[in-house]
Amino acid sequence: MNTASVLSDESHTYHGDTAWKTDVDEAMETAAAEDKPVLVYFWTTWCTYCEDYNKNAYVDPDVNDRLDDFVLLAVNLDDSSPEAKDLQQRYNANYPPQHVAITPDGELLVEINGYAETDSFIAYLDEAQSEWESR
Number of structural domains (the chain) is: 1
pLDDT at 17: 66
Q: pLDDT over 90 for what percent of the chain? A: 79
| CA-closest candidate to residue 67, choices 6, 106, 124 | 124
2 in a structural domain: no
47 belongs to a structural domain: yes
Do the Cβ atoms of 75 and 84 come closer than 8 Å? yes
Question: Do 36 and 66 touch, CB atoms closer than 8 A?
Answer: no
Examine residue 65 and state whether it is found in any structural domain, yes or no: yes
Residue 4 located in a structural domain: no
For the segment 107-118, the average pLDDT, to the nearest whole number, is: 96
- Helix axis angle, 24-34 to 82-90, nearest 10°: 60
Say if 82 falls within a structural domain.
yes
- Structural domain of 117: 10-129
pLDDT of residue 80: 87
Q: How far apart are CA 22 and CA 106, in angstroms?
A: 16
In-domain check, residue 134: no
pLDDT of 16: 58
Please give the average per-residue pLDDT across 85-99, as a whole number. 95
Q: Which of 112, 94, 114, 120 is nearest to 39 (CA)?
A: 112
> Considering the domain boundaries, does residue 1 fall inside one?
no
**Is 90 inside a domain boundary?**
yes
Instruction: Judge whether residue 125 has pLDDT over 50.
Output: yes
When pLDDT is averaged across residues 57-83 and rounded to a whole number, the result is 94
Query: How much is the pLDDT for 2?
Result: 44
Task: Return all residues near 126 (Cβ < 8 A) that are at least 6 apart.
Answer: 66
Q: CA 11, CA 40: separation in Å to the nearest integer?
A: 21
This prediction's pTM = 0.88
Rounded to 5°, angle at Cα 4 from 94 and 55: 55
Tell me: pLDDT of 101 over 60: yes
CATH code of the domain in which 106 resides: 3.40.30.10
Confidence of residue 8 (pLDDT cuts 50, 70, 90): very low
